[in-house]
Amino acid sequence: MRFALPLRALVVLLFVGSTCLALANTEKPAANGPVPVQYTRKARFSKQYDPNLKPDREAFPTRVAPLIYPAKWRQWGQPAYAVVEFLVKDTGLPSEVQCTEATDRAFAKAAEQAIERSFFFPAVKRQQGVCSKLVQRITFNLQPPQPTAPAQPAVPAQPDAPTAP
């Protein structure tokens, strides 16, 4: 008898808790594909990068590899993003590519692969290439931007026909 009341209270609490969880999860999954799971991670770099070094000129991309929208997510069709931190060596090659934030892990992987296939002009300090850190936000769009139609050339003016006197 002593345990009946606490047991009933425990059952009621479990029921109320599960009902609250069911009501709290009212977000409907996308009908057209999987639901993304937010991805976050802290970047860690090796000792070859000196965060105190201030280059005269920052590194910048010279050849950017194309982004590939993950096949699994094509049915979802929504824009997505990834924030990638990486080192650019003094040779211009990216290294230690790490995604710190993304819409889903699939987009993080695709962004990392695109950066690894890209090439950069290295940061410069005293006319020497130096290792530097870059942070890039990459946006994924299923539909590439539509190219604008080239401007039509102006129609040359027609010379006036000579008039007979």
CATH number of the domain where residue 70 is located: 3.30.2420.10
Residue 11 has pLDDT above 80, yes or no: no
Domain assignment of residue 89, yes or no? yes
Inter-residue contact 84 to 112 (CB < 8 Å) = yes
99 CB-near residues (< 8 Å, 6+ apart) = 39, 41, 82, 83, 84, 85, 108, 109, 111, 112
The boundaries of the domain holding residue 98 are: 54-143
Identify the pLDDT of residue 77.
79
Between these two residues, 89 and 156, which has the higher pLDDT value? 89
Give dist(CA 115, CA 105) in Å, integer: 15
Number of domains in the chain: 1
Q: What is the pLDDT of residues 101-133, one digit of tens each?
A: 999 999 999 999 999 999 999 999 999 999 999
So what's the pLDDT on residue 120?
95
With respect to residue 122, please indicate whether it lies within any of the assigned structural domains: yes
The pLDDT score that the predictor gives to residue 52 is: 85
Whether 148 is in a domain gets the answer no
At 139, is the pLDDT very low, low, confident or very high (cuts 50, 70, 90)? very high
For residue 113, give every residue at least 6 positions away whose Cβ sits within 8 Å of its Cβ, in sequence order, or none. Answer: 65, 68
* 3-class state of residue 157 by DSSP: coil
What does the pLDDT look like over 33-52, one tens digit per residue? 678 888 888 888 888 788 88
38, part of any domain: no
Percent with pLDDT over 70 in the chain: 67
Establish if 18 belongs to a structural domain: no
Give the per-residue pLDDT at 20: 46
> What mean pLDDT comes out for the span 79-85?
93
CA torsion angle 118 122 123 127 (round to 10)? -170
pLDDT at 93 over 90: yes
Distance CA 48, CA 138 (A): 25
Distance (Å, whole) CA 98 – CA 100: 6
62 within some domain: yes
pTM: 0.64
